[in-house]
Protein backbone atom coordinates (compact mmCIF):
# COMPACT_ATOMS: atom_id res chain seq x y z
CA UNK A 1 0.00 0.00 0.00
CA UNK A 2 1.40 3.38 -0.99
CA UNK A 3 1.32 6.46 1.21
CA UNK A 4 -2.22 7.67 1.99
CA UNK A 5 -3.50 10.83 0.39
CA UNK A 6 -2.65 13.90 2.50
CA UNK A 7 -5.64 15.69 4.10
CA UNK A 8 -5.32 18.83 1.98
CA UNK A 9 -5.67 16.75 -1.19
CA UNK A 10 -8.58 14.78 0.21
CA UNK A 11 -10.33 18.11 0.74
CA UNK A 12 -9.35 19.70 -2.59
CA UNK A 13 -12.32 19.73 -4.99
CA UNK A 14 -10.42 18.37 -7.99
CA UNK A 15 -11.49 14.71 -8.00
CA UNK A 16 -14.00 14.18 -10.79
CA UNK A 17 -13.17 17.31 -12.77
CA UNK A 18 -13.77 16.82 -16.49
CA UNK A 19 -10.86 16.78 -18.93
CA UNK A 20 -10.92 20.13 -20.67
CA UNK A 21 -7.36 20.30 -21.99
CA UNK A 22 -5.87 18.93 -25.19
CA UNK A 23 -2.66 16.91 -25.30
CA UNK A 24 -0.20 16.54 -28.13
CA UNK A 25 3.42 17.55 -28.85
CA UNK A 26 2.53 21.25 -29.02
CA UNK A 27 0.31 21.23 -25.94
CA UNK A 28 2.86 19.19 -23.99
CA UNK A 29 5.55 21.79 -24.57
CA UNK A 30 3.32 24.73 -23.73
CA UNK A 31 1.98 23.01 -20.60
CA UNK A 32 5.32 23.46 -18.85
CA UNK A 33 5.14 27.20 -19.46
CA UNK A 34 8.00 29.64 -19.73
CA UNK A 35 10.25 31.50 -17.33
CA UNK A 36 8.39 33.13 -14.44
CA UNK A 37 10.84 35.17 -12.40
CA UNK A 38 8.57 35.62 -9.37
CA UNK A 39 7.76 31.92 -8.99
CA UNK A 40 11.35 30.88 -9.65
CA UNK A 41 12.50 33.44 -7.11
CA UNK A 42 10.33 31.81 -4.43
CA UNK A 43 11.48 28.32 -5.44
CA UNK A 44 15.12 29.44 -5.28
CA UNK A 45 14.67 29.99 -1.54
CA UNK A 46 13.98 26.28 -1.05
CA UNK A 47 16.71 23.72 -0.42
CA UNK A 48 17.45 20.98 -2.91
CA UNK A 49 15.84 18.45 -0.60
CA UNK A 50 12.72 20.60 -0.25
CA UNK A 51 12.55 20.92 -4.05
CA UNK A 52 12.69 17.14 -4.43
CA UNK A 53 9.91 16.85 -1.86
CA UNK A 54 7.92 19.41 -3.80
CA UNK A 55 8.28 17.23 -6.90
CA UNK A 56 6.73 14.35 -4.96
CA UNK A 57 3.91 16.58 -3.70
CA UNK A 58 3.16 17.73 -7.25
CA UNK A 59 3.03 14.08 -8.25
CA UNK A 60 0.33 13.55 -5.64
CA UNK A 61 -1.67 16.42 -7.09
CA UNK A 62 -1.35 14.93 -10.58
CA UNK A 63 -2.41 11.48 -9.43
CA UNK A 64 -5.38 12.88 -7.52
CA UNK A 65 -6.48 14.97 -10.49
CA UNK A 66 -6.91 11.87 -12.70
CA UNK A 67 -7.62 9.23 -10.06
CA UNK A 68 -11.29 8.92 -10.97
CA UNK A 69 -10.32 8.22 -14.58
CA UNK A 70 -7.09 6.28 -14.13
CA UNK A 71 -5.73 5.14 -10.77
CA UNK A 72 -2.08 5.13 -11.81
CA UNK A 73 -0.38 2.66 -9.46
CA UNK A 74 2.98 3.29 -11.12
CA UNK A 75 2.66 7.00 -10.37
CA UNK A 76 1.91 6.26 -6.72
CA UNK A 77 5.04 4.10 -6.45
CA UNK A 78 7.11 6.78 -8.19
CA UNK A 79 5.78 9.41 -5.78
CA UNK A 80 6.66 7.22 -2.77
CA UNK A 81 10.14 6.79 -4.19
CA UNK A 82 10.56 10.54 -4.64
CA UNK A 83 9.53 11.18 -1.04
CA UNK A 84 12.22 8.72 0.08
CA UNK A 85 14.73 10.32 -2.28
CA UNK A 86 14.08 13.71 -0.73
CA UNK A 87 15.39 12.22 2.53
CA UNK A 88 18.34 10.45 0.89
CA UNK A 89 18.81 10.27 -2.86
CA UNK A 90 20.58 6.91 -2.55
CA UNK A 91 17.25 5.21 -1.93
CA UNK A 92 16.17 5.96 -5.49
CA UNK A 93 16.81 3.59 -8.42
CA UNK A 94 16.78 6.17 -11.18
CA UNK A 95 17.74 3.63 -13.84
CA UNK A 96 14.51 1.73 -13.13
CA UNK A 97 12.40 4.80 -13.87
CA UNK A 98 11.69 4.13 -17.54
CA UNK A 99 8.27 5.34 -18.62
CA UNK A 100 6.70 5.22 -22.09
CA UNK A 101 5.84 8.61 -23.52
CA UNK A 102 2.25 9.38 -24.45
CA UNK A 103 1.74 12.25 -26.86
CA UNK A 104 -1.94 11.58 -27.54
CA UNK A 105 -3.93 10.94 -24.35
CA UNK A 106 -5.02 13.97 -22.34
CA UNK A 107 -5.07 11.68 -19.27
CA UNK A 108 -2.03 9.44 -19.62
CA UNK A 109 0.11 12.06 -21.35
CA UNK A 110 0.46 14.47 -18.41
CA UNK A 111 0.90 11.57 -15.97
CA UNK A 112 3.75 10.13 -18.02
CA UNK A 113 5.29 13.56 -18.54
CA UNK A 114 5.44 14.22 -14.81
CA UNK A 115 7.01 10.81 -14.17
CA UNK A 116 9.78 11.75 -16.57
CA UNK A 117 10.16 15.01 -14.69
CA UNK A 118 10.97 12.92 -11.61
CA UNK A 119 13.84 11.36 -13.54
CA UNK A 120 15.11 14.76 -14.67
CA UNK A 121 14.89 16.14 -11.14
CA UNK A 122 16.80 13.21 -9.66
CA UNK A 123 19.49 13.43 -12.34
CA UNK A 124 20.33 17.06 -11.69
CA UNK A 125 19.74 16.98 -7.93
CA UNK A 126 23.08 15.31 -7.24
CA UNK A 127 24.86 17.94 -9.31
CA UNK A 128 23.50 20.80 -7.23
CA UNK A 129 22.19 22.17 -10.50
CA UNK A 130 20.11 25.33 -10.08
CA UNK A 131 18.10 24.16 -13.07
CA UNK A 132 16.06 22.11 -10.60
CA UNK A 133 14.27 25.35 -9.74
CA UNK A 134 13.15 25.77 -13.34
CA UNK A 135 12.07 22.12 -13.55
CA UNK A 136 9.83 22.55 -10.50
CA UNK A 137 8.30 25.70 -11.93
CA UNK A 138 7.48 23.74 -15.07
CA UNK A 139 6.07 20.84 -13.06
CA UNK A 140 3.73 23.18 -11.18
CA UNK A 141 2.62 24.64 -14.51
CA UNK A 142 1.93 21.15 -15.83
CA UNK A 143 -0.34 20.27 -12.89
CA UNK A 144 -2.08 23.63 -13.22
CA UNK A 145 -2.55 23.02 -16.97
CA UNK A 146 -4.62 19.89 -16.32
CA UNK A 147 -7.06 21.58 -13.93
CA UNK A 148 -10.11 23.36 -15.39
CA UNK A 149 -10.64 24.75 -11.87
CA UNK A 150 -7.22 25.51 -10.39
CA UNK A 151 -8.23 27.58 -7.34
CA UNK A 152 -7.42 24.86 -4.78
CA UNK A 153 -4.05 24.12 -6.38
CA UNK A 154 -3.08 27.76 -6.66
CA UNK A 155 -4.01 28.40 -3.02
CA UNK A 156 -1.94 25.41 -1.89
CA UNK A 157 1.07 26.36 -3.99
CA UNK A 158 1.09 29.95 -2.75
CA UNK A 159 0.76 28.78 0.86
CA UNK A 160 3.35 26.04 0.82
CA UNK A 161 6.33 27.91 -0.66
CA UNK A 162 6.72 30.41 2.21
CA UNK A 163 6.05 27.56 4.65
CA UNK A 164 8.97 25.57 3.25
CA UNK A 165 11.45 28.43 3.00
CA UNK A 166 12.35 28.59 6.74
CA UNK A 167 13.10 24.85 6.64
CA UNK A 168 15.42 25.27 3.68
CA UNK A 169 18.98 26.13 4.61
CA UNK A 170 20.94 26.49 2.49
CA UNK A 171 18.66 27.60 -0.29
CA UNK A 172 19.12 26.20 -3.77
CA UNK A 173 20.39 29.63 -4.81
CA UNK A 174 23.20 29.42 -2.26
CA UNK A 175 23.91 25.69 -2.49
CA UNK A 176 24.17 25.74 -6.27
CA UNK A 177 27.54 27.42 -5.81
CA UNK A 178 28.75 24.51 -3.69
CA UNK A 179 30.75 21.48 -4.78
CA UNK A 180 29.09 18.04 -4.70
CA UNK A 181 32.51 16.54 -3.96
CA UNK A 182 32.35 18.25 -0.59
CA UNK A 183 29.78 15.67 0.54
CA UNK A 184 31.11 13.68 3.47
CA UNK A 185 31.21 10.31 1.70
CA UNK A 186 30.95 11.35 -1.93
CA UNK A 187 27.27 10.45 -2.09
CA UNK A 188 24.69 13.00 -3.17
CA UNK A 189 22.20 13.82 -0.44
CA UNK A 190 24.42 13.12 2.57
CA UNK A 191 25.76 16.57 3.40
CA UNK A 192 23.06 18.83 4.89
CA UNK A 193 25.31 21.84 4.36
CA UNK A 194 24.75 21.45 0.63
CA UNK A 195 21.41 19.73 0.10
CA UNK A 196 19.64 21.00 3.19
CA UNK A 197 18.18 18.97 6.00
CA UNK A 198 15.33 16.53 5.24
CA UNK A 199 11.86 18.05 5.25
CA UNK A 200 8.91 16.00 6.53
CA UNK A 201 6.04 15.35 4.15
CA UNK A 202 3.71 17.12 6.59
CA UNK A 203 5.51 20.38 5.86
CA UNK A 204 3.69 20.38 2.52
CA UNK A 205 0.31 20.47 4.30
CA UNK A 206 -0.43 24.16 5.04
CA UNK A 207 -2.75 23.18 7.93
CA UNK A 208 -0.39 20.80 9.70
CA UNK A 209 1.00 22.22 13.02
CA UNK A 210 4.63 21.60 12.17
CA UNK A 211 6.06 23.85 14.90
CA UNK A 212 5.01 21.44 17.65
CA UNK A 213 5.66 18.23 15.75
CA UNK A 214 8.54 15.79 16.10
CA UNK A 215 10.06 16.14 12.62
CA UNK A 216 12.51 13.29 13.11
CA UNK A 217 9.67 10.93 14.02
CA UNK A 218 7.60 12.10 11.04
CA UNK A 219 10.44 11.41 8.60
CA UNK A 220 11.22 8.05 10.22
CA UNK A 221 7.56 7.04 9.91
CA UNK A 222 7.48 8.05 6.25
CA UNK A 223 10.54 5.95 5.41
CA UNK A 224 9.19 2.95 7.31
CA UNK A 225 5.84 3.28 5.51
CA UNK A 226 7.45 3.57 2.08
CA UNK A 227 9.70 0.55 2.64
CA UNK A 228 6.73 -1.63 3.62
CA UNK A 229 5.54 -1.79 0.01
CA UNK A 230 7.67 -3.45 -2.71
CA UNK A 231 8.75 -0.65 -5.02
CA UNK A 232 10.79 -1.12 -8.22
CA UNK A 233 12.01 2.46 -7.96
CA UNK A 234 13.66 2.00 -4.55
CA UNK A 235 16.82 0.11 -3.61
CA UNK A 236 16.39 -2.78 -1.23
CA UNK A 237 18.23 -2.81 2.11
CA UNK A 238 20.58 -5.43 0.64
CA UNK A 239 21.35 -3.23 -2.36
CA UNK A 240 21.97 -0.26 -0.10
CA UNK A 241 24.31 -2.26 2.12
CA UNK A 242 26.25 -3.46 -0.93
CA UNK A 243 26.63 0.16 -2.02
CA UNK A 244 28.13 1.10 1.34
CA UNK A 245 25.06 2.61 2.98
CA UNK A 246 25.77 3.16 6.68
CA UNK A 247 23.07 2.88 9.32
CA UNK A 248 19.66 1.26 9.18
CA UNK A 249 18.03 1.58 5.75
CA UNK A 250 14.66 3.31 5.73
CA UNK A 251 15.05 4.61 9.24
CA UNK A 252 15.81 8.17 10.29
CA UNK A 253 17.34 9.39 13.53
CA UNK A 254 18.15 12.97 12.56
CA UNK A 255 20.54 14.97 10.39
Q: Which of 4, 13, 49, 15 is nearest to 155 (CA)?
A: 13
What is the mean pLDDT of the segment spanning 104-128?
94
* Residue 179: predicted pLDDT: 54
Evaluate if residue 26 carries a pLDDT over 90. no
Question: In this structure, is residue 71 part of a structural domain?
Answer: yes
pLDDT digits over 32-67, tens only? 987 788 899 999 999 999 999 999 999 999 999 999
Question: In this structure, is residue 148 part of a structural domain?
Answer: yes
Instruction: Kindly report the length of the chain.
Output: 255
Question: In this structure, is residue 10 part of a structural domain?
Answer: no
* Residue 178: predicted pLDDT: 59
Question: In this structure, is residue 205 part of a structural domain?
Answer: yes
- Considering only 11-15, 36-40, 78-82, 223-227, which range has the smallest mean pLDDT? 36-40
Measure the CA–CA gap between 237 and 241, rounded to whole angstroms.
6
Question: In this structure, is residue 126 part of a structural domain?
Answer: yes
Burial of 182 (0-12, 13-18, 19+ CB in 10 A): exposed
Higher pLDDT, 186 or 90: 90
Evaluate if residue 107 carries a pLDDT over 60. yes
Question: In this structure, is residue 29 part of a structural domain?
Answer: yes
* Residue 96: predicted pLDDT: 96
Measure the CA–CA gap between 58 and 136, rounded to whole angstroms.
9
Considering just the CA atoms, what is the radius of gyration of the chain in Å? 17
Secondary structure of residue 234 in the 3-state scheme:
strand
Higher pLDDT, 106 or 2: 106
Measure the CA–CA gap between 225 and 234, rounded to whole angstroms.
13
- Considering only 11-25, 93-107, 182-196, 227-241, which range has the smallest mean pLDDT? 182-196
Question: In this structure, is residue 11 part of a structural domain?
Answer: no
Average pLDDT score, the chain = 90
Cβ atoms within 10 A of the Cβ of 16, count?
Answer: 9
* Residue 1: predicted pLDDT: 54
What is the mean pLDDT of the segment spanning 127-153?
95
Number of domains in the chain: 1
* Residue 191: predicted pLDDT: 58
Higher pLDDT, 206 or 244: 206
Share above pLDDT 70 across residues of the chain, in percent, rounded to a whole number: 93
Question: In this structure, is residue 216 part of a structural domain?
Answer: yes
Domain of residue 227, residue span:
22-242
- pTM, entire model: 0.93
Evaluate if residue 187 carries a pLDDT over 70. no
Amino acid sequence: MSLPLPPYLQAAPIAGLPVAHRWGPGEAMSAFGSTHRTVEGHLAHLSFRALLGLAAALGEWMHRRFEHLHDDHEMRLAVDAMWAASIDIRYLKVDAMQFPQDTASAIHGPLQALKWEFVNAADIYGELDFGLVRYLRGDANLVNFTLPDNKAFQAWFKAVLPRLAPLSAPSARDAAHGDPDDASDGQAGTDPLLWGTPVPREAFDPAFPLATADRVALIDTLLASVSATPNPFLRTPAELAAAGFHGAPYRYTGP
